[in-house]
Amino acid sequence: MGEKKISKNNVSISGEFYIAHVLAKHDFRVSVGLGRTEDFDLFVKNPNGINLVVSVKTRYSNKAKDFILNKKNETLIEENLFYAFVRLNMPDGNPEFWIIPSMVVASIIKNSYRIWKDTPGKDGKPHGDTKMRTIEVRASRFFPKDWVKQLESFKSNIDSLKELK
């Protein structure tokens, strides 16, 4: 029997509740927005009482290598805004996640888009404009040479949120 198809909405909800679960397990207070907010999914208070917001981006497959963002994410820079990129690793794996500050996400997607635009497409023609942006969870010619090392520092990094004072 083939892989069961689940709705994008259920994939998103699964990622949000997974991160909420992980944070609550580490003594964070978490409220899930359930789609009522445009730019973030979780309202969080860390153990030191600092208020944070988290935008969760989720992929279902263990083969997923990137997460889709939008041009507006290039300018969403707030000290208390973080992105949680969740790969559920389905159908039979354990979830993985990366928590990355908004200022890093904004810089990475802005620079990688510029590099992509300056690189000819497969047919040698320039790439057209698009509002879509991506974060890769692997090495990519459009990302910094040390991106994989940076990713390792963001992987499962609950402590970066816990230590904020």
Domains of the chain: 8-162 (3.40.1350.10)
Q: What is the C-alpha to C-alpha distance for residues 161 and 165, in angstroms, rounded to an integer?
A: 9
If we measure between CA atoms, which residue out of 38, 90, 32 comes closest to residue 59?
90
Per-residue model confidence (pLDDT) at position 122? 86
Residue 122 identity: K
> Rounded CA gap, 89 and 63, in Å?
7
Helices (H), the chain: 8-25, 102-118, 147-154, 158-162
pLDDT one digit per residue (tens) for the chain, 165 residues: 455 688 998 999 999 999 999 999 999 999 998 766 777 899 999 999 999 999 999 999 988 999 999 999 999 999 999 999 999 998 888 999 999 999 999 999 999 999 999 998 888 888 889 999 999 999 999 999 999 999 999 999 999 999 998
Helix (H, G, I), strand (E, B) or coil at 73: helix
Judge if pTM exceeds 0.85. yes
Cβ(4)–Cβ(91) below 8 Å: yes
Provide the pLDDT for residue 38. 74
Cβ-proximal residues to 114 (8 Å cutoff; 6+ apart), any chain = none
What single-letter amino acid sits at 51? N
Neighbours of 29 (CB within 10 A): 13
Q: Which helix (H) or strand (E) segment is 44 a member of?
A: strand 42-45
